[in-house]
Amino acid sequence: MEERINIIPQTEKELVDLQAFIDVSKKETQPMLVDLLRDVENHYKMLDEYFVEYQHEDLENCMEQKIWPTQIEFVIAQCLS
């Protein structure tokens, strides 16, 4: 998303397309990712109840995912300002 948002539009059509992409990202994609993250977190909690041992990489990925919604919001805010 960040790569797409940071491309400077060269034409009016590209600008309109970019604005539509930003709107969809903010209204649909970001909430969907937040819900997905909540589901992943719930799965980890369930696995914790059974004392499942995680690989270090899995834990790193889980923690990194927590910042995605904030990163998306930040990039959109930068583009709109």
Domain parsing of the chain, residue ranges? 11-80
- Mean pLDDT, rounded, for 36-48: 87
Q: How confident is the model at residue 8 (pLDDT cuts 50, 70, 90)?
A: confident
79, pLDDT greater than 80: no
10, pLDDT greater than 90: yes
pLDDT (tens digit, 9 = 90+) per residue, 12-31? 999 999 999 989 988 998 88
Q: What is the pTM of this model?
A: 0.62
Nearest alpha-carbon partner for 21 in 40, 49, 48, 2: 2
Distance CA 33, CA 35 (A): 5
CA 28 → CA 8, 9, 32, distances in Å? 23, 22, 6
